[in-house]
Amino acid sequence: QVTLRESGPALVKPTQTLTLTCTFSGFSLSTSGMCVSWIRQPPGKALEWLALIDWDDDKYYSTSLKTRLTISKDTSKNQVVLTMTNMDPVDTATYYCARIRGVRGYAFDIWGQGTMVTVSS
């Protein structure tokens, strides 16, 4: 069974750095074609793709947020970590990690349950 689970702080202060961890099971991020991505959703708003890391450790970022984002993986721990610097109240959102593969048309076939992050002083 494939699962992903996000973890991290529920509350961060403006200007702080957010660190989120996605812990997954049921697949290996070393397998060719396998990727894990982060997506966020502000309350009542649409989904926004943030970042992706692939099996070959290539990393890709949203054009609008790339200066603030860093994605990394620890294959031995089955974890993907996202950091976002200089947090602002507009970054308040539910943050999801999800698996994406070419064999599923580069669609997100399995999602974590999401973790809500509030940015407030």
Partner 1 sequence: DIQMTQSPSSVSASVGDRVTITCRASQGISSWLAWYQQKPGKAPKLLIYAASSLQSGVPSRFSGSGSGTDFTLTISSLQPEDFATYYCQQANSFPLITFGQGTRLEIK
| Cβ-based nearer residue to partner 1, 27 or 49 | 49
Distance in angstroms (rounded) separating the CA atoms of residues 87 and 104:
33
Is residue 88 helix, strand or coil? Answer: coil
| Cβ-based nearer residue to partner 1, 16 or 118 | 118
The two three-digit tokens of residue 12, written as one number: 């961060």
Binding site for partner 1 (CB under 8 A): 35, 37, 39, 46-49, 52, 54, 60, 62-63, 96, 98, 104-109, 111-114
Q: How far is the CB of 102 from partner 1 (least distance, A)?
A: 8
Q: How far is the CB of 97 from partner 1 (least distance, A)?
A: 10
CB atoms within 10 A of CB 20: 22
| Cβ-based nearer residue to partner 1, 63 or 76 | 63
Q: How far is the CB of 13 from partner 1 (least distance, A)?
A: 26
Q: How far is the CB of 81 from partner 1 (least distance, A)?
A: 18
| Cβ-based nearer residue to partner 1, 12 or 52 | 52
Nearest Cα to Cα of residue 78 among 27, 18, 6, 19: 27
Residues with Cβ < 8 Å from 27, sequence gap 6 or more? Answer: 2, 34, 99
CA angle 110, 87, 60 (to 5 degrees): 45
